[in-house]
Amino acid sequence: MLPFLFGDKLVVRVDLKADRKRRLLHVLSAIEEPGIDRSKVAGALASELVVLAHWVGLREISVSDRGTLAAPLRTAILSNENRSILG
């Protein structure tokens, strides 16, 4: 489980798995803490996951349906800004 800080607060807990053969970072679950701004946090987390994927040599990110932040995170990752970073 990867804790994600936004500013000085823990806002999301993310379960990740790297599939190095397929060069894919799987987000198995993304569970938000109460009282967060979903769109801001999802956008920030998406950007950091792109950086992480590049750092470990992965080219794609997939987000499962598990977790309360899964849908907003998937949307943020599929945004043009993050897609261009993934290449």
Where residue 79 falls among pLDDT bands split at 50, 70, 90? confident
Where residue 84 falls among pLDDT bands split at 50, 70, 90? very low
pLDDT at residue 73, rounded to an integer? 96
6: containing domain: 2-86
Q: Which pair of tokens denotes residue 25?
A: 């970072």
For 9-64, what is each residue's pLDDT tens digit? 999 999 999 999 999 999 999 999 999 999 999 999 999 999 999 999 999 999 99
Domain count of the chain? Answer: 1
pTM here is: 0.89
Q: Is 6's pLDDT higher than 90?
A: yes
Question: Whole-angstrom Cα distance, residue 79 to residue 19?
Answer: 22
